[in-house]
A and B are shown apart, each in its own frame.
Chain A
């Protein structure tokens, strides 16, 4: 079956298709940005985007994303390390502490802002409510998403470059 991960196509066997998606990404592709923190889809630390929709992948198999576009946190910044404006806003607004929820949080926010580039703070709260953070109280994460929203108006900033 055919996968598209961070803009790159790759072909995998049916047996790989049966693997847990999080294991495949983390162990086979070394895309370790998606974290395993609850195993039951309750915390959002493993969130990636599939066709721009957030998906908690600890409860998914590889075959579930066959034929779809997958974006992981590793696909957000440019190859030279230049951060996506949303990532830069996370840095600037102090939205990062331990960082374990950060990849999922950035991706959920990215999906949300693609659809709603003029969000209220309450809408941002609702958009990230499925992703748990124990460090920040979400306040500065919401600040960051609010600040980054401007970059999604008009021509939205896409994930910058395909990268595996």
Chain B
């Protein structure tokens, strides 16, 4: 096994590269039954009857389940309990599941699922979020009283006064699209009843604890009767929270009722039809700028299409609100954000969580403002960006960590030769067919959940009598390398080789509920818990051996697999120290808990210390646009992010590249298309995620400023890397073509030789 610090170390790499890793669909169970969901063609309809008799009589079918079969709660939701395990009163979007067929084989289950009929009264569907807010619009949830899911606001300073002081105003409307996570592994769950009555859940999910909550509520049993077992998963990107939990709940229901293991393995087209997406946004944005190049005011209205159920729309839109001015100091802000129900596919968490949409807007508006002033976007950003001690638009003073905005910007400029390249951009005019452009974008991002939730994580270190170490952490391995990062941190803190540590994939029955592995919180929260657990273990070990080392417990050093006195004269090996503890029944079993520092929020004014720390990132891209075809070719991209501390550098680089790649899809290719509320591109041949040939060579610049709030020093990276390349591409396309991009994905057709004046909105 490779040691910590060696290139590329991952505890799971060997198993993955040899194909031996067992993902959920790879697990084998005796007497396994298979389930298939039943959809119907409706988009919005009142259900009169779900007719299952014919399907129930089909070959191999064991049972057909509907909402009537749910013994506990058929409704769930992390914020509003409006989502159904099975649609009962209404179909609210085309991905609603009305029933599930359980059969001896998957093929038989799928075949019989076509025999379930739904009798329903068709209702008018509302598919436009602005129309959904009009009086008289069809209501997606009648009991909610309107289609407004939630609002957020910021009221800071006096925007009227700010706009009066402005030398000019940039005002534009932007739209972003619905996109799919497209994790390579579709949703899947296998649930198996254990002899003691406990239902074991194996599945592809980011949130074992909320999955357990939903499964237990669905079955009407206590939490102790459901055990969600951490299972290797093929990617999540925020997308394996709510939908993944429902898939588990359905399989668990069948397993409980039938007393047999049941697998519910999603086909890709089911996954894209049913699973939640990144929210499409409509943003009206107005920025006032003074003659000194400083932003005097921002007014914006953000409308997020949340689709048919609430999911985490209030939280996603909260981040959009807090970060609605980008990383810039603005004293006068008026922001209204609305999350809206429609009959479109549900929208929820996706990598970025409300920031990619706003950065697409803000990072273009600042370039437009710069052009009006006759300065570069870089210069405009420097005049307005947050610095050490700056106050954010929500009134938070950035003084408790290193504000690295300028540092990451400088790093990208230096690495790419950006300003020299900027001077070579085509701006719509070139001798040949290829127009050349560079563009950049930057952001700051609040780390972890912030004031949207209670934020903590637990880790358990359980040293065995021979000195080998079992480590469990309440965060989940989504594919990012969390287990390896946790193991490295524990080894470093304890002064032992990482080979001594066996990461024990936690189950919900062994580790305290530590929340969900989202919000780029894995390393900072999990790593914090591991570091604190290791420190507590060291305290206990030091107490056990300080007599032999003839020094105070607090002075014992942990190095090279041993405990030493301050001068290094006396030494007790790690193994001996552990043996001594077992001999005296002072067991080396510790639980570490990291609680996030306090955050505050006033929902009425939009003021507060929204996040306990922030990260800073900047990305630049170089491209050509073909005049005749409009085809964009990416030539290169570079990114700098302050990660606090790079625990496992190769994996850190992987987050850079993966995030940037996903953002190129957001910018140029990806869009969940639908017609009358029905998705028309539900597989990977028509929903086009970036291929190797779509991407340029990418460079990762790791900036490290250890965060004082983070016990292990690390901050966040997964989402920051994914939130700014789309506006960088939009800016580069502008610098190449002279055309601004107000909607995503960017669609360019053939460009006329002379650019019409109205296209040149600066």
Interface positions of A (Cβ within 8 A of B): 26, 30-40, 42-43, 45, 72-74, 76-77, 81, 83, 87, 90-103, 106, 121, 124-126, 128-142
Contact = CB atoms under 8 A, between A and B. Distances in A.
Interface in B1-51: 2, 7-8, 10, 12-23, 25-26, 28
Among B19, B234, B237, B480, which residue has the most Cβ atoms of chain A within 10 A?
A: B19
A32 B651 CA distance: 25
A134 B240 CA distance: 14
Contacts of B260: none
A35 B683 contact: no
B183 interface: yes
Contacts of A136: 654, 657-658, 661
22 contacts: A35-B234, A37-B184, A37-B684, A40-B268, A40-B684, A42-B685, A77-B18, A92-B7, A93-B7, A95-B8, A96-B17, A99-B15, A100-B183, A106-B17, A125-B692, A128-B692, A129-B693, A132-B691, A134-B184, A137-B662, A138-B692, A140-B650
Contacts of A128: 692
Interface of B: 2, 7-8, 10, 12-23, 25-26, 28, 181-186, 232-235, 237, 267-268, 478-481, 650-651, 653-654, 656-662, 683-685, 689-693, 695, 697-698
Contact of B698 (A34, A76, A137): A137
A137 B184 contact: no
B7 A32 contact: no
Contacts of A37: 184-186, 234, 268, 684
Contact of A74 (B19, B184, B237): B19
Contacts of A135: 184, 235, 479-480, 654, 658
A27 B650 CA distance: 35
A76 B445 CA distance: 43
Given A42-B685, A98-B183, A137-B660, A93 B8 contact: yes
Query: Is chain B's interface secondary structure helix, strand, loop, or mixed overall?
Result: loop
Contacts of B17: 83, 87, 90-91, 96, 99, 102, 106
B19 A97 contact: no
A83 B660 CA distance: 30
Given A45-B184, A96-B10, A98-B234, A73 B657 contact: no
Nearest to B699: A139
A39 B691 contact: no
A135 B689 CA distance: 11
A45 B268 CA distance: 12
A11 to B, nearest CB: 24
B18 A83 contact: yes
A124 B26 CA distance: 30
Nearest to A72: B19
B520 to A, nearest CB: 15
A136 B691 CA distance: 11
Contacts of A38: 268, 683-685
B19 A32 contact: yes
A103 B19 CA distance: 6
Given A134-B689, A142-B692, A99 B479 contact: yes
Nearest to A87: B17
Given A129-B692, A132-B689, A97 B14 contact: no
A62 to B, nearest CB: 16
A87 B235 CA distance: 20
Nearest to B665: A134
A134 B19 contact: no
Contact of A91 (B8, B479, B693): B8
A91 B14 contact: yes
B18 A99 contact: no
A137 B7 contact: no
B695 A133 contact: no
B482 to A, nearest CB: 11
Contacts of B660: 137
Given A91-B2, A98-B234, A99-B479, 19 more contacts: A37-B268, A40-B683, A42-B684, A90-B13, A91-B14, A94-B651, A95-B8, A97-B651, A98-B235, A99-B16, A102-B19, A103-B19, A128-B692, A133-B184, A134-B237, A135-B479, A135-B480, A137-B657, A139-B653
A26 B26 contact: yes
A99 B698 contact: no
A35 B184 contact: yes
Given A26-B26, A97-B479, A135-B658, A91 B19 contact: no
Contact of B479 (A81, A98, A103, A138): A98
A96 B697 contact: no
Among B18, B183, B478, which residue has the most Cβ atoms of chain A within 10 A?
A: B18
Nearest to B649: A94
A97 B658 contact: yes
A74 B16 CA distance: 11
Contacts of A95: 8
Nearest to B10: A96
Given A91-B13, A134-B689, A98 B185 contact: yes
B696 to A, nearest CB: 9
Contacts of B661: 136-139
